[in-house]
């Protein structure tokens, strides 16, 4: 019998445009081995027993909803103006403000996410933990938020690539954006996040620094394989993702990107 996590929900961020792909198709509907990227993330959530999933949509919202019209476990949340990942999660506040369990925050354009990673986050998130995040080590960390640790190896915070100093850019441990939070603490902290950064956006990553300043426990799990952390912002990167996925699931889709 399939397990169900009654105290855990997931928020999937799926509002992005992906301008560099030069297509009118929402990013999460770009196909990998014949399926939209978002489909893989939804299936991974279901595989670990999550039965309530909130998907934040924006660009091409109706197209995304239509493609997943039969997804009865999904609640669609509209982010009418894209103001960053922190703002996207805040769009779910009204529906989740009284929820006392745990909340995953994941990206809809990360189809290589494995159930094992989510299970490891759950196993490391105990009663004293406010937030748990998974990290990866990359030879080329360009474009990724860096994991900043203190002299003892404990997490100090996460700095987005565009906001990094020259020294921080040398860090190879990165943030692939797989998070698990105490839900009430998440929304309480998000209200204190500002947009004082180069992008003028509200980053979900800023909640970790705020939580740490308050003395909250934040756990870090190095559970993500390098290829699973890859970002997909161009058609070439999408082709590469197809190749990785084809090897994983044994399909013959490598290099067969389909324009929607």
- Mind giving me the DSSP string for 27-47? GGGSEETTEEHHHHHHHHHHH
* CB crowding 27-53: b at 16 or more within 10 Å, else e: bbbbbbbebbbbbbbbebbbebbbbbb
- Please answer whether residues 150 and 156 qualify as being in contact, where contact means their C-beta atoms are separated by less than 8 angstroms: yes
Structure tokens at 182: 């105490």
Q: How many CA atoms lie within 13 A of 148 on its CB side?
A: 18
Task: Estimate the crossing angle of helix 37-47 against helix 115-124, to 10 degrees.
Answer: 50
Catalytic annotation, pick one of 20, 114, 146, 225 = 20
User: Long-range contacts of range 252-255, CB-CB < 8 Å, 24 or more positions apart?
Assistant: 253/32, 253/33, 253/34
Is 114 an annotated catalytic residue? no
Q: Catalogue the active-site residues.
A: 20
């Amino acid at each position: 019998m399939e397990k169900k996590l009654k105290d855990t929900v997931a928020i999937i961020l799926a509002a992005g445009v992906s301008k560099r792909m030069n297509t009118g198709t929402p990013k999460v509907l770009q196909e990998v081995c014949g399926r939209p990227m978002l489909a893989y993330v939804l299936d991974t959530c279901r595989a670990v027993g999550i039965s309530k999933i909130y998907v934040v949509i924006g660009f091409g919202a109706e197209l995304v909803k239509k493609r997943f019209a039969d997804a009865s476990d999904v609640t669609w949340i509209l982010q009418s103006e894209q103001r960053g990942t922190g703002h996207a999660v805040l769009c779910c506040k009204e529906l989740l403000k009284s929820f006392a369990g745990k909340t995953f925050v994941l990206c809809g354009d990360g189809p290589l996410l494995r159930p094992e990673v989510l299970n490891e986050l759950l196993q490391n998130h105990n009663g004293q933990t406010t937030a748990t995040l998974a990290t990866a080590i990359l030879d080329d960390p360009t474009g990724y938020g860096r994991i900043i640790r203190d002299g003892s190896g404990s997490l100090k915070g996460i700095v987005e690539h565009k906001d990094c100093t020259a020294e921080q850019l040398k860090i190879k441990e990165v943030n692939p954006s797989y998070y698990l939070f105490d839900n009430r603490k998440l929304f309480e902290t998000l209200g204190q996040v500002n947009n004082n950064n180069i992008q003028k956006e509200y980053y979900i990553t800023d909640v970790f620094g705020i939580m740490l300043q308050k003395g909250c426990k934040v756990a870090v799990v190095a559970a993500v394989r390098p290829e699973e952390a890859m970002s997909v912002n161009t058609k070439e990167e999408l082709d590469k993702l197809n190749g990785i996925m084809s090897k994983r699931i044994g399909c013959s889709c490598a290099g067969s990107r389909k324009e929607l």
